Amino acid sequence: MPISVRQFHLVNVTVAVAVILAACGSDSAQSESAVTTVTTTDVTASTTDVVVTQAPSSDPSPTVDSTAAGLVYQASGGGGDAIFVAIADGSDPQPVGDDVPGSHKHPDWSPDGMSVVFVAEASPSTLWQVGLDGSPSQEVYSCDCFDLDNPAWSPDGKRVAFTRYEPPAGDGPPAASSIVVLDLAAGTTTDVTTSEAGQLVDVPRWSPDGDFLVFGIDRFDDSGNETGSTIAVVPSVGGAVTPLVDFESFAYYPDWNHATDTIVFSTETLQYAATGEPSTTWDLFEILPDGTGRRTITTVPDDVRLWQPSWTPDGQAVVATQDADGERTAVLIDPESGAVTPLTSGLATHTRLRPGGN
């Protein structure tokens, strides 16, 4: 059957604006990451000069009180999804980047917590950077590709990793995708890894030292149906790709803890499994970056789904999206006990707490 664009994580989720998040911590502690190569695929990184448009948009973005802003998230913004910044208790949500046309998705904080990077879905797709000071948004990258996805700011603030998708052949999934690293100062990109036939790569996140990226890999059959997913690690300059689990685990959406050097991931791609009934229960797991030490964080009841996990900046808890009883909320999860605490009275996705936020 034809596969819609979201069946490989590209659809915007339209949600209501309401988030009430507790403050969680300060700037992450830095730790050395250790990656042991197991089954690998050699990938040669390529560096390309790109035209980076630094001209700002014509209208300023709203000024946000940088001493109060505590979280960023994606939600319904009228005519499409938008990016919002709010106080850590969810009050006073303010749109950011609304001087940029198109629907907006997948925000991430700069390491100093003063700027946000996001994707604007227009033609072409573009990456934008917006500060909290009300200055106009700045376009940092655009391409003649099918789509851009999931930007992630490096720990030193000098690079942004993201996914670039190539146009599909017919009604199937994109022909290929690449994990790309943009050097913000030089305006050059490096293709760190490109998907193999029958696979797509997405959702990159940085190691504490910035030397590696963890990312998701979807696998499809000849008809474009999803047959599994895994997470893998690759040097941020390109090199051997190290899968951490097997595809049958349906592991996806990883995030790297900058305090403990562990990786959290979800099993959200079970909803797209080509065989059997789609699973309505998705849990969270933790694993070391060499693929050992895998353990279960949550064991949720039937029909409860946890997805989009993100470590709090202090590394002490996980923020995730929960679907249960027909409602979608942001939740805070204790990684030791697995206890899930609801943090919203409404809907939001792609929530990330601000480094150094209140």
Q: Is residue 95 part of a domain?
A: yes
Residue 143 main-chain phi, psi, to 5 deg: -150, 160
pLDDT per residue over 81-127, tens digit each?
999 988 776 677 889 999 999 999 999 999 999 999 999 997 778 99
Q: What is the pLDDT of residue 124?
A: 79
- pLDDT value of position 272: 86
DSSP letters for 74-113: EEE-SSSEEEEEEETTS-S-EEESTTS-SEEEEEEE-TTS
Q: Which two tokens stand for residue 338?
A: 């697995």
Task: Using CB atoms within 10 Å of the CB of residue 325, give its burial: 0 to 12 exposed, 13 to 18 middle, 19+ buried.
Answer: exposed
CA 164 to chain centre: 13
**In this structure, is residue 186 part of a structural domain?**
yes
Asked, for residue 37, whether it belongs to a domain, the answer is no
Query: Within a domain: residue 107?
Result: yes
Range with the poorest average pLDDT among 158-162, 191-195, 196-200, 346-350 = 346-350
Structural domain for 150, as ranges: 5-30+42-353
Q: Is residue 113 part of a domain?
A: yes
Does the pLDDT value for residue 206 go beyond 70?
yes
% of the chain exceeding 90 in pLDDT: 58
Would 36 be classed as within a structural domain? no
Asked whether the predicted pLDDT for residue 54 surpasses 80, the reply is no
Token digits of residue 26: 């300060």
What is the sign, positive or negative, of the torsion defined by CA atoms of 182, 185, 187, 189? negative
Q: Does residue 35 sit within a domain?
A: no
Q: Identify the band that residue 76 occupies on the pLDDT scale cut at 50, 70 and 90.
A: confident
Residue 17 has pLDDT above 60, yes or no: no
Q: Report the SS3 class of residue 137.
A: coil
Highest mean pLDDT among 22-26, 46-50, 316-320: 316-320
Q: Which helix (H) or strand (E) holds 352?
A: strand 349-353
Measured CA to CA in angstroms, residue 248 lies from 9, 218, 219, 252 at distances of: 18, 11, 10, 11
Residues 250-256, mean pLDDT to the nearest whole number? 97
CATH classification at residue 135: 2.120.10.30
- What's the whole-model pTM score? 0.83
Whether 235 is in a domain gets the answer yes
- Residue 29's pLDDT is what? 35
Count the domains in the chain: 1
Query: pLDDT category, 228, cuts 50, 70, 90?
Result: very high
